[in-house]
């Protein structure tokens, strides 16, 4: 047992922290969940992705032949941890984590040429076209149809909860190409140009007041056949088996740690009832409890990364790290709001808002954390059924 | 980064599991509860296997194993609920190794390593706090030695231990002026009274009326006992966490087996999501506890700074074990709250372990200090 990072990994951490310190001005730091970027931050994120790409860090986990560094899982942990802690706004996670690796495995040469280097440079952005109004946790029941017609497919249907579809160049679409087959066996993946006639994007305003998630409507959108990636009707299986990248959720845990550190600064600077809040025994207990749980979350994530680095495929272990980290991100904001008291209602940007209104934003933005990309309920089912071998019925 | 145990450690765990499964059935745990709270036979067998001497160097009859190895063994002890003064004796061994004179080590450690001399920490005064300021029991110089006056409460295995490691105050306040002594249980002036406790684990109040001891009883330097005691408390919190992760894992496994087997409405109750999610929460509590505990144990093994990690381990694991037991009761339904069913053996010990060497509140307060919130004025 040795729970340290290697000297090389620590040297990389130092280099990265210095780089972020020099290149990310405080006003460009995102909210804790990166869901509420201002137009200026959004612009900055695009430019910053290209800077990361120039360093070779944007897609460091990719093989070298596609512009990556074949970085180890633990090095990716370091990267994701520091990026999460510094709340660096980002635009390209879909392309580098999902689309790129899938195209490497299943795409043809022409597709590799067209997409991979553009993604690696931070020059093109994908949105995800998976969820539908009636297909959330039960994704394989999706109904958006792609019907062959000459040299094209005609796509009809509706996608929803697609992150930043209103800014994306392409949609990574999962559509039904065989309505007669069992539900997992009739799905196909397409890389669809968002400028295709018949595609309409409508941003969804969330409780936070931001427009991160979108609806995408496909109304007889004609998609050329060369947009099909991999094998027809194998889309479900292709989506399940992409290249291994660090997916423990450590970035979110680091962001929670940052929120805690911001709260620590606040309670030391703030007097209430004649004493600093940091001397209030209840506040001390609450913050220590958060610190403890953040450490638990961190180690649950490290376990997942360690399994991946040994070539093992994490199963319930990732669900455990995720559900713990997701729920903790909400708890940090809940506890933070209680500590802020009456001033906690002041919004981001309002003069005098404690912690710059970030805890207030986080209180609202983290609501989605236990829902998007696998609800807590689904994660617990996986822990119980795969991890503890409890029967499905 | 490497979470793996090495081959020797895996073997130690496996051997301990097999031994304790055979030698420490719940029948023994129940029998011992009615008597002294301690099984001499089991203790002697464990000493015979060399386990009691694990921390002690080879020249003095031990095997000089690392602290993480100790934690792995204690994890199995927690799983089997083994009624033996293992943690108590180990903590005293470590204190002697850290602060004992050559003469003390030679006189005491070989007998301790062989299981013939059981020693237990006698730390708590009237306030039952683990903060240094709570130590009130006085020791005053007299002739060439000292005279100790006071009471130590809830001493683990107080009636069967051969000697106590007593924390006293020879002056000062807080961390200053703390002095440690090793005192025989049969020493003149000592009276021991067992107190019934939730875990039936042989705790005693130890009254000391003018107990006169010589200089050879002093452990470390007069007035400078806090660093030794602080180290003992770190190890105590970590070993107790290790005991708890063993117990919690056993409770989880028992619960999963039960809900798979128990049929209602023509299906196993473990197929209902309400039950599955409870089990998933228990699994998260157990895995989290294991990693924070191993982290603290590993840091202690490597002599790396560990105050923060020890506080986190004990704070989380203390809550987690009790929570796992209570969730298990709910998942078991009525059978789980009977005396006949073994779950109650764990639940009662979970509560006792939660309180030992600082509960969640205590360690959270320590952590708040380490997080830069300043030392609380309430201490």
Residues 181-210 of B with CB under 8 A from A: none
Domain identity same for B231 and B363:
yes
Name the domain boundary from B160, B192, B224.
Answer: B224
Is A106 part of any domain? no
Residue numbers in B near A78 (CB within 8 A): none
Q: Indicate which of A72, A259, A282, A284 best probes the interface with B, i.e. most B CBs within 10 Å of its own CB.
A: A284
A381 vs B288: CB contact, 8 Å cut-off?
no
B213 reaches A (C-beta below 8 A) = no
Q: Is the CB of A299 less than 8 angstroms away from the CB of B295?
A: yes
Domain boundary among B101, B117, B133: B117
Nearest alpha carbon to residue B181 among B231, B122, B244? B122
The alpha carbon dihedral of A158, A164, A170, A175 has a sign of negative
Taking alpha carbons only, the member of B143, B81, B92, B79 closest to residue B122 is B92
Contact A287 B368 (CB under 8 A): yes
DSSP character string of A252-280: HHHHHHHHHHHHHHHHHH-EETTEEGGG-
Are residues A155 and A265 both part of a single domain? no
Cα of B276 to nearest chain A Cα, Å: 5
Q: How many CB atoms lie within 10 A of CB B289?
A: 25
CA-closest candidate to residue A157, choices A180, A184, A181, A188: A188
Are B31 and B156 in the same domain?
no
Contact between B200 and B345 (Cβ < 8 Å): no
| Whether A79 and A207 share a structural domain | no
Asked whether the beta carbons of residue A380 and residue B277 sit closer than 8 angstroms, the reply is: yes
Using the beta-carbon criterion (under 8 Å), do A3 and B287 form an inter-chain contact?
A: no
pLDDT tens by residue, A320-364:
999 999 999 999 999 999 999 999 999 999 999 999 999 999 999
Same domain? A383 vs A254: yes
Name the residue facing B373 among A267, A387, A389 (closest C-beta). A267
**How many domains does chain B fold into?**
3
DSSP run (H or E) holding A243 = none
Looking at chain A from residue 49 to 68, which residues have their Cβ under 8 Å from any Cβ of chain B? Answer: none
DSSP string, B63-90: ----HHHHHHHHHHHHHHT--S-HHHHH
3-state secondary structure A51-78: HHHHHCCCCCCCCHHHCCCCCCHHHHHH
B378 located within any domain: no
Q: Which residue of A lies nearest to B253 if distances are taken between CA atoms?
A: A388
Task: Give the pLDDT of residue B145.
Answer: 97
Q: Which residue(s) pair with B268 in the sheet?
A: B263
Chain A hits for B275, Cβ within 8 Å: 390
Backbone angles phi, psi at A188, to 5 degrees: -135, 145
Given the structure tokens 């894992």, which residue do they identify? B249
As a whole number of angstroms, the distance between CA B328 and CA B254 comes to 9
Residues 6+ apart with CB under 8 A from B174: B132, B133
Determine the distance in angstroms separating the CA of B317 from the nearest CA of chain A, rounded to an integer.
Answer: 10
How far is it, in rounded angstroms, from Cα A154 to Cα A220? 5
**Judgement on whether residues B103 and B125 belong to the same structural domain of the protein:** no
pLDDT value at position B377? 60
Strands (E), A178-246: 187-193, 199-203, 213-224, 228-229
Which A-chain residues 302-331 have CB contacts (< 8 A) with chain B? 302-303, 305-306, 309, 316, 320, 323-324
Q: Do B1 and A285 touch (CB under 8 A)?
A: no
Are B342 and B260 in the same domain? Answer: yes
Place of tokens 């406790």: B197
Q: Are strands A126-129 and A170-176 parallel, antiparallel or unpaired?
A: parallel
CA distance A57 to chain B (A): 21
| Domain final residue pick, A72, A91, A110 | A91
Matching residue, tokens 């006698």: B122
Domain annotation covers residue B2: no
Q: How far apart are CA B168 and CA B160, in angstroms?
A: 21
Q: Which of B261, B280, B312 to mutate to test the interface with A (most CBs of A within 10 A)?
A: B280
E strand spans, B43-187: 119-122, 138-142, 145-155, 163-169, 178-184
**Which of A73, A91, A109 is a domain's end point?**
A91
Residue of A nearest to B279 (CA): A384
Q: Are residues A261 and A371 in the same domain?
A: yes
Q: Are residues A236 and A259 in the same domain?
A: no
Q: Does some domain include residue B16? A: yes
CA angle B223, B225, B228 (to 5 degrees): 165
Q: Are residues A193 and A322 in the same domain?
A: no
Does B234 share its domain with B213?
Answer: no
ipTM over 0.85: yes
The span from the CA of A129 to the CA of A42, in Å, is 21
Burial class from Cβ neighbours inside 10 Å (0-12, 13-18, 19+) for residue B274 reads exposed
Kindly state the tokens that stand for B183: 């005192």
CATH of the domain at B100: 1.10.540.10
Nearest beta carbon to residue B279 from set A275, A323, A390: A390
Nearest CB to A390 within list B271, B367, B376: B271
Identify the domain boundary among A208, A240, A272.
A240
Inside any domain, residue B165: yes
| Residue A141 distance to chain B (closest CA, Å) | 21
**Alpha-carbon gap, residue A127 to A164, rounded angstroms:** 6
| Residue after which a domain boundary falls, among B224, B255, B274 | B224
| Cβ contacts of A74 on chain B, cutoff 8 Å | 1
Distance of CA B227 to the CA centre of its chain: 19
Shared domain for A326 and A301, answered yes or no, is: yes
How far is B359 from B315, CA to CA, in rounded Å? Answer: 7
Which residues from chain B sit within 8 angstroms of residue A285, using beta carbons?
A: 361, 364-365, 368
What's the CATH number where B369 sits? 1.20.140.10
A296 and B292 in contact by Cβ < 8 A? yes
The number of folded domains in chain A is: 3
**Residue A298 dihedral angles phi and psi, to the nearest 5°:** -60, -45
In a domain, B303, yes or no: yes
Q: Per the CB < 8 Å rule, is B1 touching A2?
A: yes
Minimal CA separation from A172 to chain B, in Å = 33
CATH number at residue A379: 1.20.140.10
Considering CB atoms only, which of B270, B287, B299 is closest to A300? B287
For B276-305, what is each residue's pLDDT tens digit?
Answer: 999 999 999 999 999 999 999 999 999 999
Query: What residues make up the domain containing B126?
Result: 120-224
Quick check: is A295 catalytic?
Answer: no
The verdict on a CB contact (< 8 Å) between B6 and A1 is: yes
Q: What is the CATH number of the domain that holds A204?
A: 2.40.110.10
Does a structural domain hold residue A100? no
B141 burial via Cβ count (<10 Å: 0-12, 13-18, 19+):
exposed
At residue A242, the pLDDT reads 59
Residue B378 has pLDDT above 70, yes or no: no
| A141 and A213 both lie in a single domain | yes
Using an 8 Å CB-CB cutoff, list chain A residues near B284. 300, 320, 323-324, 383
CA distance B146 to B138: 10
| Whether A262 and A219 share a structural domain | no
Kindly determine whether residue A380 and residue B377, on different chains, have CB atoms separated by under 8 Å.
Answer: no
Q: Yes or no: say if A168 and A199 are a contact pair by the CB < 8 Å rule.
A: no
Of the listed A81, A125, A132, A246, which one is catalytic?
Answer: A246
For residue B70, CA distances in Å to A58, A276, B75, B91, B234 come to: 44, 42, 9, 11, 14
- Is B149 found in the same domain as B88? no
Indicate whether B255 and B362 sit together in one domain: yes
In a shared domain, residues B244 and B307:
yes
Which structural domain range is residue A63 located in?
Answer: 7-91
Residue B322 lies in a domain: yes
pLDDT > 90? residue B375: no
Same domain, B234 and B347: yes
Q: Does B68 touch chain A (CB under 8 A)?
A: yes
B284/A contact by beta carbon, under 8 A:
yes
Residue A266 and residue A380 in one domain: yes
For chains A and B, count residue pairs whose Cβ atoms are closer than 8 Å: 160
Q: B180 in contact with A at a CB cutoff of 8 Å? A: no
What is residue A393's predicted lDDT score, i.e. its pLDDT? 87
Same structural domain for residues B253 and B332?
Answer: yes
**Residues 315-354 in B contacting A (C-alpha not used; CB under 8 Å):** 315-316
All residues of chain B having their beta carbon less than 8 Å from the beta carbon of residue A306 are 1-3
Q: How many residues does chain B have?
A: 379
Contacts of A43 by beta carbon, 8 Å cutoff, 6+ apart:
none
DSSP string of B9-33, one letter each residue: HHHHHHHHHHHHHHH--HHHHHHHH
CA distance A97 to A93: 6
Q: Does A265 touch chain B (CB under 8 A)?
A: no
Q: Which residues of chain A have pLDDT under 70?
A: 241-244
Look at A288 and B371 and tell me if their CB atoms are within 8 Å: yes
User: Token pair for residue A218?
Assistant: 């496909």
CA dihedral B214, B217, B220, B221 (to 10 degrees): -20
What tokens does B158 get? 């107080």
| Same domain assignment for residues B220 and B231 | no
- A326 within some domain: yes
For the record, the structure tokens of A250 come out as 């450590």
- Provide the CATH number for the domain around residue B170: 2.40.110.10
Residues A83 and A139 in one domain: no
Q: B253 to chain A: which residues are within 8 Å by CB?
A: none
Radius of gyration of chain A (CA): 22
Residue B336 and residue B274 share a domain: yes
Residues A370 and A267 in one domain: yes
Quick check: is A56 in a domain?
yes
pLDDT at A245: 75
Residues 228-257 of B with CB under 8 A from A: 256
Rounded to a whole number of angstroms, the distance from the CA of A288 to the nearest CA of chain B is: 5
> In 10 A of CB A135, how many CB atoms?
18
- B305 touches A: beta carbon within 8 Å: no
Do the Cβ atoms of A89 and A37 come closer than 8 Å?
yes
Q: Is A334 on the interface with B (CB under 8 A)?
A: no
């Amino acid at each position: 047992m040795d729970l340290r990072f290697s000297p090389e990994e620590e040297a990389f951490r130092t280099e990265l922290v210095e780089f972020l310190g020099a290149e990310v001005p405080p006003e460009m730091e995102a909210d804790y969940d990166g869901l509420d970027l201002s137009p200026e931050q959004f612009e900055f994120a695009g430019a910053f992705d290209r800077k990361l790409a120039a360093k070779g860090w944007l897609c460091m986990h990719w093989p070298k032949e596609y512009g990556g560094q074949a970085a180890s899982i633990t090095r990716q942990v370091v990267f994701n941890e520091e990026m999460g802690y510094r709340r660096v706004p980002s635009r390209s996670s879909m392309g580098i984590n999902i689309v790129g690796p899938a195209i490497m495995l299943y795409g043809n040469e022409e597709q590799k040429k067209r997409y991979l280097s553009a993604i690696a440079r931070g020059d093109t952005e994908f949105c995800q076209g998976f969820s539908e109004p009636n297909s959330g946790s039960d994704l394989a029941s999706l109904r958006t149809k792609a019907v062959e017609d000459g040299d094209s497919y005609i796509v009809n249907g509706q996608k929803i909860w697609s992150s930043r579809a209103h800014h994306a160049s392409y949609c990574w679409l999962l559509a039904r190409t065989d309505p007669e087959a069992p539900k997992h066996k009739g799905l196909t993946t397409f890389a669809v140009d968002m400028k295709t006639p018949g595609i309409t994007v409508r941003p969804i305003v969330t409780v936070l007041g931001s427009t991160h998630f979108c609806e995408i409507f496909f109304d007889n959108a004609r998609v050329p056949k060369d947009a099909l990636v991999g094998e027809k009707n194998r889309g479900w299986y292709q989506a399940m088996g992409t290249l291994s990248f660090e997916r423990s959720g450590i970035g979110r845990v680091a962001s929670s740690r940052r929120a805690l550190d911001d709260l620590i600064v606040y309670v030391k600077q703030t007097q209430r009832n004649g004493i600093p809040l940091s001397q209030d025994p209840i506040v001390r207990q609450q913050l220590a409890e958060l610190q403890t749980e953040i450490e638990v979350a961190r180690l649950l994530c490290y376990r997942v990364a360690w399994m991946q680095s040994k070539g093992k495929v994490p199963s319930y272990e990732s669900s455990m790290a995720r559900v713990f980290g997701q729920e903790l991100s909400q708890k940090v904001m809940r506890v933070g709001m209680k500590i802020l008291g009456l001033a906690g209602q002041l919004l981001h940007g309002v003069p005098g808002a404690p912690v710059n209104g970030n805890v207030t934003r986080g209180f609202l933005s983290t609501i989605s954390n236990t829902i998007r990309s696998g609800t807590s309920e689904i994660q617990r089912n996986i822990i119980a059924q795969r991890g503890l071998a409890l029967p499905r019925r | 980064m490497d979470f793996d145990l090495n081959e020797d450690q895996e073997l130690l765990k496996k051997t301990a599991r097999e031994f304790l499964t055979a030698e420490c059935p719940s029948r023994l745990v129940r029998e011992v509860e009615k008597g002294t709270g301690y099984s001499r036979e089991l203790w002697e067998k464990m000493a015979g296997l060399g386990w009691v001497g694990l921390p002690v160097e080879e020249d003095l009859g031990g095997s000089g194993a690392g602290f993480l190895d100790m934690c792995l063994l204690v994890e199995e002890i927690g799983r089997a609920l083994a009624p033996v003064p293992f943690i108590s004796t180990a903590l005293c061994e470590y204190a002697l190794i850290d602060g004992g004179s050559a003469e003390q080590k030679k006189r005491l450690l070989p007998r301790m390593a062989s299981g013939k001399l059981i020693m237990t920490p006698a730390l708590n005064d009237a306030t039952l706090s683990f903060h240094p300021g709570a130590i009130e029991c006085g020791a005053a110089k007299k002739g060439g030695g000292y005279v100790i006056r006071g009471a130590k409460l809830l001493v683990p295995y107080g009636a069967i231990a051969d000697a106590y490691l007593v924390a006293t105050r020879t002056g000062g306040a807080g961390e200053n002026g703390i002095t440690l002594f090793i005192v025989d249980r049969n020493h003149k002036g000592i009276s021991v009274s067992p107190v019934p406790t939730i875990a039936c684990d042989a705790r005693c109040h130890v009254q000391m009326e003018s107990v006169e001891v010589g200089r050879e009883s002093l452990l470390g330097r007069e007035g400078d006992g806090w660093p030794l005691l602080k180290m003992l408390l770190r190890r105590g919190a970590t070993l107790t966490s290790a005991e708890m992760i063993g117990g919690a894992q056993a409770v989880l496994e028992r619960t999963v087996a039960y809900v798979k087997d128990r049929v209602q409405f023509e299906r196993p109750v473990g197929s209902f999501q309400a039950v599955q999610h409870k089990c998933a929460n228990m699994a998260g509590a157990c895995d989290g506890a294991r990693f924070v505990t191993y982290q603290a144990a590993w840091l202690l093994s490597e002599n790396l700074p560990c105050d923060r990690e020890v506080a986190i381990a004990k704070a989380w694991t203390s809550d987690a074990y009790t929570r796992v037991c209570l969730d298990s009761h709910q998942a078991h339904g009525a059978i789980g709250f009977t005396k006949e069913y073994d779950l109650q053996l764990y639940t009662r010990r979970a509560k006792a372990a939660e309180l030992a060497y600082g509960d969640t509140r205590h360690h959270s307060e320590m952590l708040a200090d380490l997080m830069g919130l300043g030392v609380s004025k309430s201490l």
